[in-house]
Structure 1
Amino acid sequence: MNGTFAFELPLMHITFGITFLVAARWGERSALYFGIAFLCNAAGFGLPVMPMGLSDLTVAWVTDILFAVSFFFFGQAATQHFGAPRRLLWARLATCAISIALCIYAVVGLDDLHMELLASDAGCVLLLGLAMVGIRWQGLRSFDWVLFVAAWFVTIESVIRGTSSFFTAPSSVEDFGTSQYAYFMQALGSVLGVVFAMAGLSAVALSVLDRYHKMAMDDPLSGLLNRRGFEEALATRPDWRGRPASIVTCDIDRFKTVNDRFGHATGDAVIEALAAILRTRLPEDGIAARFGGEEFLLFLPGRTPADALRIAEGVRTAIEAEAAETVGMDGPITASFGISGVVASDFSVHDAIGRADAALYEAKHGGRNRVALRLLDTVEPETAARSAAPLVALERRTGSRRRSA
């Protein structure tokens, strides 16, 4: 084997393997699998040049095992990182075992190098290829494409190398080290190893950053955005400006009583149930956030206050009908809502949030479990009349139902 490749290639893969194992401490399981795979690759490339006194036949079948295990874990890394279904796991385990058995039989039983290389390369192709075919490329994030393409290059390279082994590999194991096959395997192992490793490291690092960013923007209990996430979502959605938009604020009624009577675990379950109802009733382009405690907010671009009131009333009735049963409480769970439209004179959306909060305060003091509206005094009278008439009527009907109940 070429002296430069023989020693540099194992060291390169050891470096990559250790780097991935360090990255696995960030909580990325795929990095652990990448690390194991590269370390097995390093052992596979390094074993033939290590002065261990092993026979060529022993080195051959042990190396085949290392490469098979390596590609199995490469496939595991891809499956884990891309979130592919694991239904092919047992097929890949069986492929790994069959490939190893065929390699050992070809070396020990037949002394047939071509058969051994074909079994080894075919096994590597299937071990990584079966994992890759389960990946839905349509849903890949932008920074995952490099890893996706690199993995397919490694798979294709194994196919080409395996099919060319009849022309580039010698007939005996003893002559393997000086063959064209060995040279191409090391050369391509160096180039594609670097590309694959760098793509994997980049994808793992960016995935970790994406996860931490999501953790910073999402409320862990409800699964909705938190305040910071809400602000960022608005900043990335400038298309709502210049169109009608509305704010709905929501607060769970007597939430402290729920915590005191049933415990904080039940209180958490109530928040989760309410968040689930908000998600199901939220328009596709809407934004839902938990602003803290039992307070929630909906941003509804393209919706007038009349639209917002209908949505809020639907959420209110769903909470009243479903939430208590969902969490197993024997008492009712209700929520109050405040609504305001976003108008051109607002300095920021927080002006509309302030008005919606004031409306929510009115709903609380008006009997709870109801929807209230706050409009700007600066709105043109005829515009205000057209917008407010159906809202006030519905609010009055809602309030009458509460009083008669």
Structure 2
Amino acid sequence: MDSGIIVYLPVSIISLISLAFLILWHLRIATSWQWSAGFALTATGFGFSAFPIAPAFDAFVSGFIFIGAAYFYSSAVLLHFDAPMRRWERRLFAFTYVPFNGYTVFISANLNDQLLVTDVAFAILLGSALLMAIPRASRPADKIMIVAGWIVTIDTLVRTTFFYFFTESSDQLADFVNSDYNLVVHITTITICMLFPFSALGAMASAAIDKHRDAAGRDALTGLLNRRGLNEVVEMLTKNNALNGSILICDIDHFKQINDKYGHAVGDKVIVVLAKELQNATGSHGYAARLGGEEFVAYFPGTSQEDATRLAQLLRVAFSGRAWRLDGVLSEVTASFGVSAIRDGEITLHPAIDRADKALYSAKASGRNKVVVSPAEDFWYFAAGNRFEQSSVSLGAKGKFLRSH
């Protein structure tokens, strides 16, 4: 391929890529505008090879532009993976590069030194962001993007090392445009380095799909799972292992009265408070979902019924003991809880949810603000304060609990 044509290709190709990322950012598909900024600066930097002005000016400005591109690439990577931005550290490093760049261009006037300083600084900025992103890469598309980023980083370091230490390249700034280094950087940019922008697009598309799927499985008000989300979690868990653990169901006592008396905005606030308490209780080892209205369910894998009951008691006390006046609620706000263990051989949560739901109904029927546990078909344990009372119950024809001592 004619080297004259190659010189113009990166400018045009990368400019189009920058425009594409800008459009995708406006459409809220791209994760950040930094992708577009990084590729725009890269295209501008290559423009000094296609349209040179003056050797010293071209070297100094293009070097600064490429470091700016590396800064935006690293910002885009960190934002995509929700990693610590370390803005001041990266900015300090980028500004530290400027005097070194100025020295190699205007004082020593050594092309090879200027290329070495620029390439190493570029690789450090991008490589440090990739290192911070590695532990956060879970999707295959994310891992491919990190690999592509490392290809760019390694290509930069290998190229500058080879030309600086193992060739007899001219050190004159005016010789850069027609140098072998310039030809190689153009070739690698329009070949192997093109994997970086396209892998970034793939990673963002994958993240957008996951975000849409996650939104479909979550309750908009509380951020907890909804019925669909909980079912998907259970399907995932049962692929390789049998279900085990305990189920907790709860809802807010006299919630309609809260809505009628204080309004739906306050009612939503009460729902969010209980949702947060459940989320804190489940943490990273359980799953909480809003079934609808003021009713919630929590699944604790590998947790005994006794431990789940203790958690329910803590939740009940914390919820009822909250300073509700600060939220505009002047009356007492409590919740009732039903707990059931998942029994051997059960391959879905539905039987345990049904038992916990019956226990919840019993808590409501016996005065509310209680935890009721269902360890066996014909026994229910009532927890109020720190006392547990055992009663046998049977289900009446109309679905009501009939107690017998």
Q: TM class, shorter-chain normalised?
A: 0.7 to 0.9
Is 1:230 matched with 2:230? yes
Aligned counterpart, 1:151: 149
Per the alignment, residue 312 of structure 1 pairs with 312
Equivalent residue number for residue 57 of structure 1? 56
Counterpart-to-counterpart distance in 2, 1:367 and 1:224: 28
- Which one is further off, 39-48 or 334-343? 334-343
Query: So what's the TM-score if we normalise by structure 2?
Result: 0.82
Q: 1:203-248, CA deviations, whole angstroms, 9 ceiling, x for partnerless residues?
A: 1111122222222212233232111101111111116976655433
Query: How big is each residue's C-alpha offset from its partner over 1:155-198, in whole Å with a ceiling of 9 and x where there is no partner?
Result: 22222233334336422222222222112211222234211112
Contact 1:250 1:295 in 2 (8 A): yes
1:249/1:47 Cα in 2 relative to 1: closer, same or farther (>3 Å)? same
Identical positions, percent: 31
The residue number in structure 1 matching 2:127 is: 129
Contact residue 17 and residue 36 of structure 2 kept, 8 A: yes
Residue from 124, 138, 143 that aligns with 1:141 = 138
Task: Provide the TM-score with structure 1 as the length reference.
Answer: 0.82
Residue of structure 1 in register with 2:75 after alignment: 76
In the aligned structure 1, how far is the partner of 2:37 from the partner of 2:283? 45
What residue ranges of structure 1 are gaps of 5+ in the alignment? 376-382, 401-405
Tell me, yes or no, if the aligned pair for 2:381 and 2:388 is still in contact at 8 Å: no
Alignment of 1:3-402 (within 5 A): 3-27=4-28, 30-50=31-51, 54-87=53-86, 89-133=87-131, 135=132, 137-143=134-140, 144-166=142-164, 167=167, 169-238=169-238, 246-282=246-282, 285-302=285-302, 308-322=308-322, 324=324, 327=327, 329-340=329-340, 342=342, 349-372=349-372, 384=377, 388=379, 391-392=380-381, 394=383, 397=387
User: 1:141-164: CA deviations, max 9, x gaps?
Assistant: 132222222222322222223333
After superposition, what is the alpha-carbon deviation per residue over 1:352-399, rounded to whole angstroms, capped at 9, x for unaligned? 434433443333233221234568xxxxxxx756xx3xx436579568
C-alpha distance 366-192 of structure 1, shift in aligned 2 (>3 A)? same
On the 8 A contact 2:372/2:383 being kept in 1, the answer is no
Conserved? CA contact 1:247–1:340, under 8 Å? yes
Letter in 2 for 1:79: L
Give the aligned residue type for 1:115: D
Tell me the number of residue pairs that the alignment of Structure 1 and Structure 2 aligns: 385
Offset of 1:201 from its aligned partner?
1.3
Q: What amino acid is the match of 1:57? A: A
Query: Residues of 1 paired with 2:12 and 2:77: CA distance?
Result: 23
> Letter of the aligned partner of 2:381 in structure 1?
V
The CA RMSD measured in Å over matched residues stands at 3.3
Structure 2 counterpart of 1:280, one-letter code? N
Deviation at residue 33 of structure 1 after TM alignment: 1.1
* Aligned match of 2:394: none
Helix, strand or coil at the partner of 2:321: helix
Does structure 2 retain, via aligned residues, the 8 Å contact 1:288–1:297?
yes
Q: Answer yes or no: is the 8 Å Cα contact 2:227–2:291 preserved in 1.
A: yes
Question: Quick one: which amino acid aligns to residue 392 of structure 1?
Answer: Y
The C-alpha deviation readout for 1:255-284, integer Å capped at 9, x for no partner, is 233334444443333222212222333386
Cα deviation digits, residues 55-87 of structure 1 (max 9, x gap):
333333332232121111111112212222123
Which consecutive unaligned segments of at least 5 residues does structure 2 have? Answer: 391-405
Letter in 1 for 2:258: V
